Structure 1
Amino acid sequence: MSEYGTKRLIGEFSGAFADLGTFLPIAIAVLTLHLLDPSGLFVGFGLFALAVALIYRRPIPVQPMKAVAAIVIADNLTAGTIAATGLILGATVLLLTVTGLVTFIGRKIPHTVLSGIQLGVGLILAWAGAKLIIQDPLTGLAAMLLLLLLLPTRLKPFAAILVIVAASIWSIASLPDPLPEITIGLHLPHWVSIDWSDAWIATESILLPQLALTLTNAMIVTAVIAGRLFADQERTITPSRLGMSTGILNLLLAPLGAFPMCHGAGGLVVQHRFGARTGIAPAIFGATCLAIGLLLGPNALQLLLLIPLAAVGALLVYAGLDLAKSRELTQGSWEEMAVIIITGLVCLLLNVALGLLVGIVAEYLRRRWGKQPSLNI
């Protein structure tokens, strides 16, 4: 393999594990509370990521659904309710996609609002990373320093994976007790039984909050950012296709004990920023999750706890700020910049779905009373 090919492959490895800021905290919380079988959770992520790698051939991320995680963890819900949530959300997203509603919404969103959402997603990433760093400032700041030292050098393609490996070694060396014994064996996922009460809780408490985030951040915004990062994929990575993969894969994997999953704009940015360019990155992540789920099973949590979240936070801060300082903020009229900034701040302070709605209203007012045409990005 040529030197260029080797660097590209290492970049794929680096990018594959750069987007752990959402995955690790949610996986650790769910497994610590014994809400799901570890095999089902990891095999679900593994199969979803491998399917995404084959479908898109680009680093389209696979992430746990955040609103689902917040409600499931806060209310200590059962595996049956989690499976019902995956099935109902999968069916709903698939229905909205097949009817063309997702494509219609995506085409009607103004470019200024999309740029504002990109700003907001970047700020959300950076803030999420900062919160992880605060939990362990020494490790987080050391990881950030190492990252900044690596980026200007020839080791840039290795940056994310070197930071994670170095932080994990530091974490292991700092343990007061010996490493816990981890046994390897075959652990298959179990079929999860669902009753009507599970379906009712999923529909009443979880469906709408998560659906708003999935339609905006996981489908529409992810497609927009993918189009900007990979210009040749603008017609293949669309909200409609992302909706199809999200819906179908959740329907297939939820009964096996998988956590509800979707795509995500922030994850795409982080993976791309640290070297991921093809479907090799999600394939690496998927194969790793599959191996952990099948071979480690109940021991998986012990492995996750060795990765310092503060180091992952450093990666998120850098990638988030890199996304937030896009060129659109320095172009166009002040009215257009106002729409972008308002949209971004609402995304950060509230959520992406509300940011989308507020941004559309702000853009409508700008067009009605402003003198400048819409920014064509």
Structure 2
Amino acid sequence: MSHGTTRAASVADRARSLTGEISGAFGDLGTFLPYVIAVLVAGVFAPTPLFLGFAAGYLLVALVYRLPIAVQPMKALGAMIVAGALSAEGAAWAGAIIGATLLILAATPRLDRAARSIPQSVVTGLQAGLGLVLGVVALNMMRSDWTLALPAAAILGLSLVWRRGPWALLVVFGALLLVPASQPPDLAVAGSADAALVPAVLSGIMSQLPLTLLNAVVVAAALARSLFPQDARRVSERRLAATSGFINLALVPLGAMPMCHGAGGIAAHHRFGARGSVAPLVMALFCVAAAAAGPGIVKVLAAIPLPVVGALLAHAAADLLLTRRMFDARPDCRPVIGATMIATYFLGALFGLVAGLAAESLRAHIVRKRHSASSGAGR
């Protein structure tokens, strides 16, 4: 091969890599957009500090991990905010307290040891349960207009052929350019603080903290290690807890939305081609541009059709469900994965963890009894 051919191949590889990074940067819009649009349209948060918060989070990710680690809205708190159960003031208190708690936990090596003690079958079940949850949400979004959802899903499916192609980017911008924009609702005036602020904050913390510890620390670390094994040393449970804690304690009181490193977001970034620090930097720039646009950005984001957002989310869900560990698991571990997955889907991550550990204890007990019986028969 000539020097010119080698150089051309190198340029082509770099172009494909850059395309994948840019596409992967927008791969998590399926989980990012629904919560962000909802709280902005409701007027609970102002667009500029909200997007600057996400920009700072993605910039921190690019500097610390140099990997496409997601920065997502906290789902339990986000649901409470959208439902009107938590005001901006309550969200600020809840986010700051959760951030301080995560920083305290990150300061002790016990967090890593406790997380590593969770059996792999339980972690796989937790990931699969989260995938089911995201999948159902995605289908509910997609079924509102299958004529938009199915073509979007088909284009995204081309990632099976060329994983680092610009598929997410094409779908998002194609939807904005080709689909007639519906009139988004006017921004509401931000409401007053909760009448019962303390109970609302405590309820938010109790519902969000276990989910963050499991999905955004334990499962996120396990998923990142499986997707980026060569960079596994950079992604630990303690480091994920520390960065999540820092961005919440420092930024949420200033008007940012409570944030975490969701496992589904990591899967989505990777699914559409992100492999390094370029993707989080692109997201940081996108969020800075959105912050500069102010209230006008709400109309742009709300113009992305819900079925298209659902198609993005469905691909992220598939990555969590259809993992290699799911197919390579030993037969006696599959009931543990199934029990964890079902409990996580119906009852949440905390109950999924409890059910998985119980199932794993039962599996280990049965294996020990069989081993003892076979040893006794062999004497």
State TM-score, norm by structure 1. 0.87
Q: Note if contact 1:113-1:360 (Cα within 8 Å) is conserved in structure 2.
A: yes
Pairwise CA distance, 1:236: 1.6
1:260 to 258, 265, 269: 258
Question: 2:167 — aligned with what?
Answer: 159
Pairwise CA distance, 1:353: 2.1
Unaligned runs of 5+ in 2: 1-9, 186-191, 372-379
Alignment of 1:194-209 (within 5 A): 198=197, 200-201=198-199, 203-209=201-207
1:51 aligned partner, one-letter code: L
Secondary structure of the residue aligned to 1:337 is helix
CA distance in 1, matches of 2:345, 2:316: 15
Pairwise CA distance, 1:370: 2.7
Q: Is structure 2 residue 36 aligned with structure 1 residue 27?
A: yes
Pairwise CA distance, 1:123: 2.3
2:337 to 336, 340, 364: 340
Q: Is structure 2 residue 325 aligned with structure 1 residue 317?
A: no
Q: Note if contact 2:17-2:164 (Cα within 8 Å) is conserved in structure 1.
A: no
Change over 3 Å in CA distance of 1:197–1:332 after alignment to 2: closer
Please, which moves more after superposition, 268-277 or 127-136? 127-136
Question: 2:364 — aligned with what?
Answer: 367
Question: 2:76 — aligned with what?
Answer: 67
CA distance in 2, matches of 1:155, 1:12: 11
Pairwise CA distance, 1:90: 0.5
Question: 1:169 — aligned with what?
Answer: 177
Q: Note if contact 2:163-2:271 (Cα within 8 Å) is conserved in structure 1.
A: no
Question: 1:351 — aligned with what?
Answer: 348
Q: Note if contact 1:82-1:202 (Cα within 8 Å) is conserved in structure 2.
A: no
Q: Note if contact 1:83-1:194 (Cα within 8 Å) is conserved in structure 2.
A: no
Secondary structure of the residue aligned to 2:28 is coil
Question: 1:185 — aligned with what?
Answer: none
1:306 aligned partner, one-letter code: A
Q: Deviations over 1:118-176 (max 9, x none)?
A: 2223323322221211233221112112333x3365585111111112122222xx247
| Structure with larger Rg | 2
User: How many aligned residue pairs are there?
Assistant: 355
CA distance in 2, matches of 1:368, 1:61: 38
Question: 2:136 — aligned with what?
Answer: 127
Change over 3 Å in CA distance of 1:10–1:204 after alignment to 2: same
Change over 3 Å in CA distance of 1:79–1:118 after alignment to 2: closer
2:147 to 118, 122, 138: 138
Pairwise CA distance, 1:103: 1.6
Q: Deviations over 1:35-65 (max 9, x none)?
A: 1111111111111111111110000000000
Runs of 4+ in 1 over 4 A off after TM superposition: 152-156, 193-198
CA distance in 1, matches of 2:329, 2:24: 33
Q: Note if contact 1:85-1:207 (Cα within 8 Å) is conserved in structure 2.
A: yes
Q: Note if contact 2:30-2:309 (Cα within 8 Å) is conserved in structure 1.
A: yes
CA distance in 2, matches of 1:239, 1:135: 38
Please, which moves more after superposition, 151-160 or 45-54? 151-160
CA distance in 1, matches of 2:44, 2:304: 21
Q: Deviations over 1:72-117 (max 9, x none)?
A: 2212533221211211111111112213342232021011111212
Q: Note if contact 1:93-1:244 (Cα within 8 Å) is conserved in structure 2.
A: yes
Alignment of 1:132-281 (within 5 A): 132-148=141-157, 150-151=158-159, 157-171=165-179, 174-175=180-181, 198=197, 200-201=198-199, 203-281=201-279
CA distance in 1, matches of 2:138, 2:71: 18
Q: Note if contact 2:30-2:311 (Cα within 8 Å) is conserved in structure 1.
A: no
Question: 1:78 — aligned with what?
Answer: 87
Please, which moves more after superposition, 345-354 or 28-37? 345-354
Q: Deviations over 1:257-298 (max 9, x none)?
A: 0000000111111110110000111111111111211x2112
Pairwise CA distance, 1:237: 0.2
CA distance in 1, matches of 2:88, 2:164: 41
CA distance in 1, matches of 2:201, 2:85: 16
CA distance in 2, matches of 1:94, 1:161: 35
Pairwise CA distance, 1:197: 6.7
2:327 to 311, 330, 340: 330
What RMSD in Å do the two structures reach over aligned CA positions? Answer: 2.5
Pairwise CA distance, 1:331: 3.5
Secondary structure of the residue aligned to 1:126 is helix
Change over 3 Å in CA distance of 1:101–1:128 after alignment to 2: farther
CA distance in 1, matches of 2:196, 2:53: 23
